[in-house]
Amino acid sequence: MVDLVLLHPPTIHNFREKTVVLGPISDVVPSSPIFESYPVGFLSILSFFSKHGYRVKILNVALKMLLNKNFNLEKKLKSLNPIAFGIDLHWLPHVEGGLELAKTVKKIHPDKPVIFGGMSASYYHLELIKNHPYVDFVIRGDTTEKPLLELIECLEKNKTPEDIPNLTWKTGDGKVKVNPLSFIPESLDDYMMDYGLVIKAAAKDLDPTAYLHYKDWFKYPMAAILPFKGCIFNCVTCGGSGFAYKNICGRVKPALKKPETLFEEIKIIGEYIKCAIFILNDLRVCGEKYVEKFFNILKREKIDNPLVFELFKPANKSFLENIIKVSPDASVEISPESHDEEIRKSFGRTYGNSELEKTLNLLYQLDFKRVDVFFMIGLPKQSQESVVETIQYIDRLFKFFKGRETVLHPFIAPLAPFLDPGSLVFENPEFYGYRVFYKTLEEHYNALKKPSWKYFLNYETRWLSRDGIVKATYKAANLINKVRLKHGLIGEDEAETISKKLEIAEKTTVKVDEIVKSFKGEELETKLLKLKDEVEKAYEGLLCSKKELLTWPLTSGLDVRLRIIGALAKNYLKEFLKI
């Protein structure tokens, strides 16, 4: 029997039927515009519950809908009978899909509790509980495993959850209660992510796609681990900044996993999958002693999987040398956001171009296998001209990788679809030169019912209007496409494909604008439906292809897929044939 079913919703619940110009909102993340990647917290919840004798099933509804046009959600939900259903609202773009999914659950299982969690759910906990009768509980904070287990135990025994920390809930007579936000653990060692348990659960359910993170995972597998929660930086649009963590989760300093725990997660992944392991967040936030201890463990134990390190700021030679010693096929990511140092500083990143370029030069000298550099559109003080200058700067960066230009992978994308709730800009937009269109949960829910990503945007800036952000994005996409072709990252056929997609996307965006201005109601929907085939031709891949984004060293190809299938088959046999 399954005790808890964790459901991951699509961005838009009925995306299979609607005509929506989703644009490039997800081109530089692993998922599609439906944002089918569920939070890594699902994995730690599954692991924590398993340790305490409870069974969790993950059902990636978004991915199921994406892979199979005939997937019947109601039929699938009817086949499940857990103590409760959990739905993530970590990223705000899941608000429409999440609430519609909750409605569907309640329609089929009116007596089953529906629990929401995640950063956005924590921010909007009162709106969720007060305004949506199909939401029974919200667990607030960044570490929900223990309160969630206590809630499931409480529901199982039909007890009242008066003493469960971090819980917002409704009593039997409809009264809203907000329990204190008192569970803020300083250590994450009890909440490790055991990927082995995920493989076993997928095999037991005979349903691997329910547990996959994103559509192309079997082609380009990747695993992620999280060394800490919280942040010491304050990037102004980030809902995971120190400011946001303090106000939403009550966390005033990062909570860490021990280096030994982090290595154990890496070791488990390596036993099942030969894929890149992404160490989320900048490990240096944990401190020099922590980093030294972690590297010493990796040197002693040795690992086969290539590691991907995220840098919040430029790195010195010693740190980068240590990475290469423990993982010769390592890659790094860094996000300077803009070429303009003043814009970068106004965003919350205070390093200069000379520091960035010194790091890039070191990465080249030390023979890193891949270097991703991310830039953004929609920043404070950023104009259309500045966006074009960023592409010109990107072109110049290739001089640091002379003879090995394909090591460098630059990306640029709009800050879309939403500013993060709880970020500095969201809380004080005028101060930073922003105008915020949507503030409430309901407003964001309604925004995702609109027919184009332009109307999703919950902001514009003093320097770039909504239309300006869209135009700058398409212009930047065309320019960076040419830069990629020039430096051999893509071939002429792929460059031509992206160019054609961009042309279609720009034209359909304009057509949708004209339809929205001229029609309403059913007539509007009818007119939009006629554009569906055209829109689907430019569904994604406008800024880059998933192949370029997700092809990490030594982690793709038939050998990797066979190893994953073998792990699933082995665990299936153990479960059902008792071998």
- Positive or negative torsion for Cα 283, 284, 285, 287: positive
Which CATH number does the domain housing residue 144 bear?
Answer: 3.40.50.2300
pLDDT at 569: 63
In a domain, 187, yes or no: no
In a domain, 478, yes or no: yes
| Same domain membership, residue 101 and residue 250 | no
| Same domain membership, residue 553 and residue 410 | yes
| Same domain membership, residue 128 and residue 240 | no
| Same domain membership, residue 224 and residue 98 | no
| Same domain membership, residue 222 and residue 172 | no
Give me the residues paired with residue 332 across strands. 309, 371
| Same domain membership, residue 234 and residue 162 | no
Give CA separation, 579 vs 207, 304, 571, 572, 573, in Å.
20, 28, 9, 10, 6
In the 8-state DSSP scheme, what is residue 93?
A: G
The rounded distance, in Å, linking the Cα atoms of 35 and 91 is 9
| Same domain membership, residue 355 and residue 503 | yes
pLDDT at 556: 54
| Same domain membership, residue 232 and residue 154 | no
In a domain, 482, yes or no: yes
Give helix 288-301 / helix 317-326 axis angle, nearest 10°.
30
Q: Where are the alpha helices (DSSP H) in 450-550?
A: 453-456, 466-486, 492-518, 521-529, 532-536, 546-550
Tens of pLDDT along the chain (579 residues)? 899 999 999 999 999 999 999 999 999 999 999 999 999 999 999 999 999 999 999 999 999 999 999 999 999 999 999 999 999 999 999 999 999 999 999 999 999 999 999 999 999 999 999 999 999 999 999 999 999 999 999 999 999 999 999 999 998 888 999 999 999 999 999 999 999 999 889 888 889 899 999 999 988 889 999 999 999 999 999 999 999 999 999 999 999 999 999 999 999 999 888 889 999 999 999 999 999 999 999 999 988 899 999 999 999 999 999 999 999 999 999 999 999 999 999 999 999 999 999 999 999 999 999 999 999 999 999 999 999 999 999 999 999 999 999 999 999 999 999 999 999 999 999 999 999 999 999 999 999 999 999 999 999 999 999 999 999 999 999 999 999 999 999 999 999 999 999 999 999 999 999 999 999 988 998 999 999 988 888 888 999 999 999 888 765 555 565 566 666 666 656 655 554
DSSP annotation string for 109-123: -TTS-EEEESHHHHH
The rounded distance, in Å, linking the Cα atoms of 462 and 430 is 9
- Flag whether the pTM goes above 0.75: yes
Backbone φ and ψ for 33, nearest 5 degrees, come out as -65, -10
459: phi > 0 → left, psi -120 to 50 → alpha, else beta; which? Answer: beta
In the listed set 178, 208, 224, which residue is the last one of a domain according to the structure? Answer: 178
In a domain, 192, yes or no: no
In a domain, 290, yes or no: yes
In the listed set 153, 178, 203, which residue is the last one of a domain according to the structure? Answer: 178
| Same domain membership, residue 346 and residue 267 | yes
In a domain, 568, yes or no: no
In a domain, 462, yes or no: yes
Neighbours of 442 (CB within 10 A): 15
Range of the domain at 335: 216-558
In a domain, 566, yes or no: no
Residue 260 near residue 187, CB atoms below 8 Å: no
Q: Per the structure, how many domains does the chain have?
A: 2
| Same domain membership, residue 107 and residue 242 | no
Which CATH number does the domain housing residue 337 bear?
Answer: 3.80.30.20
| Same domain membership, residue 304 and residue 155 | no
Give helix 521-529 / helix 492-518 axis angle, nearest 10°.
160
pLDDT at 573: 60
| Same domain membership, residue 377 and residue 233 | yes
